[in-house]
Structure 1
Amino acid sequence: MASAPASVSHAPAAPVPPIGLREKHKRRTRAAIRAAAMELFDANGYAQTTVAQIAEAADVSHTTFFRYFQSKEQVVISDDLDDEWQAVLEAIPPGLGRFDLLRAMVRGLVELVLADDWASDPASMKLIQSEPALLLVNQIESDRAISEAADFIADYLGVERDNPRLRVFIAAVGGMMFHIANGTEDVRDGRFLETLLEAIDLLEQGLPL
Structure 2
Amino acid sequence: MPKATTTSQPSQQSQPSQPSQPERRPGPGLRERKKIKTRQAIRRAALRLFTEQGYDATPVDRIAAAADVSTSTVFRYFPAKEDIVLTDEYDALMAEAIRERPRDETPAASLRHAVVGLLGPAAGAEREELLARLALVRQVPALRARMSGGLADSGTLLGEALAERTGRAPDDFEVRVAVGAVLGALREAVFHCLDHHRPPATTASTAKGTATRADAMTTAIDRALDLLSRGIPL
Same fold (TM over 0.5): yes
Distance 1:202 1:172, change over 3 A: same
Equivalent in the alignment of 1:21: 30
Distance 1:117 1:135, change over 3 A: same
| 1:182-208 C-alpha deviation (Å, 9 max, x unpaired) | 222278432333333333333333322
Q: Judge conservation of contact 1:33–1:58 (CA < 8 Å) in 2.
A: yes
Q: Judge conservation of contact 1:30–1:68 (CA < 8 Å) in 2.
A: yes
Gap regions ≥5 residues in structure 2:
1-19, 198-209
Q: Distance in 1 between matches of 2:115 and 2:21?
A: 18
Alpha-carbon shift at residue 179 of structure 1 (Å): 0.8
Distance 1:136 1:14, change over 3 A: farther
Of residues 113, 118, 125 in structure 1, which corresponds to 2:134? 125
Count residues in correspondence: 198
Q: Distance in 1 between matches of 2:28 and 2:42?
A: 20
Q: Distance in 2 between matches of 1:97 and 1:83?
A: 20
Q: Judge conservation of contact 1:128–1:135 (CA < 8 Å) in 2.
A: yes
Q: Distance in 1 between matches of 2:106 and 2:177?
A: 16
Equivalent in the alignment of 2:59: 50
* Letter in structure 2 aligned against 1:61: S
Alpha-carbon shift at residue 12 of structure 1 (Å): 7.9
Q: Judge conservation of contact 1:36–1:58 (CA < 8 Å) in 2.
A: yes
- The answer to whether the aligner puts 1:169 opposite 2:178 as a matched pair is yes
- Please, what is the CA RMSD of the aligned residues? 3.0
Distance 1:29 1:204, change over 3 A: closer
Alpha-carbon shift at residue 119 of structure 1 (Å): 6.1
What SS is found at the alignment partner of 1:31? Answer: helix
Alpha-carbon shift at residue 180 of structure 1 (Å): 0.5
Distance 1:116 1:145, change over 3 A: farther
- The answer to whether the aligner puts 1:140 opposite 2:165 as a matched pair is no
Q: Distance in 1 between matches of 2:140 and 2:101?
A: 36
Q: Distance in 2 between matches of 1:193 and 1:36?
A: 26
Bigger shift: residues 121-130 or 180-189: 180-189
Provide the identity percentage. 32
Gap regions ≥5 residues in structure 1:
1-10
Equivalent in the alignment of 1:68: 77
Bigger shift: residues 193-202 or 65-74: 193-202
Distance 1:19 1:206, change over 3 A: closer
Equivalent in the alignment of 1:204: 229
Q: Judge conservation of contact 1:154–1:166 (CA < 8 Å) in 2.
A: yes
Alpha-carbon shift at residue 82 of structure 1 (Å): 6.1
What SS is found at the alignment partner of 1:124? Answer: helix
TM-score w.r.t. the length of structure 2 is: 0.70
Q: Judge conservation of contact 1:180–1:196 (CA < 8 Å) in 2.
A: yes
- The answer to whether the aligner puts 1:194 opposite 2:202 as a matched pair is no
Equivalent in the alignment of 2:5: none
| 1:67-110 C-alpha deviation (Å, 9 max, x unpaired) | 22222111111124466445424422323222222223223332
What SS is found at the alignment partner of 1:150? Answer: helix
Equivalent in the alignment of 1:6: none
Of residues 167, 174, 195 in structure 2, which corresponds to 1:158? 167
Larger Rg: 2
TM-score w.r.t. the length of structure 1 is: 0.77
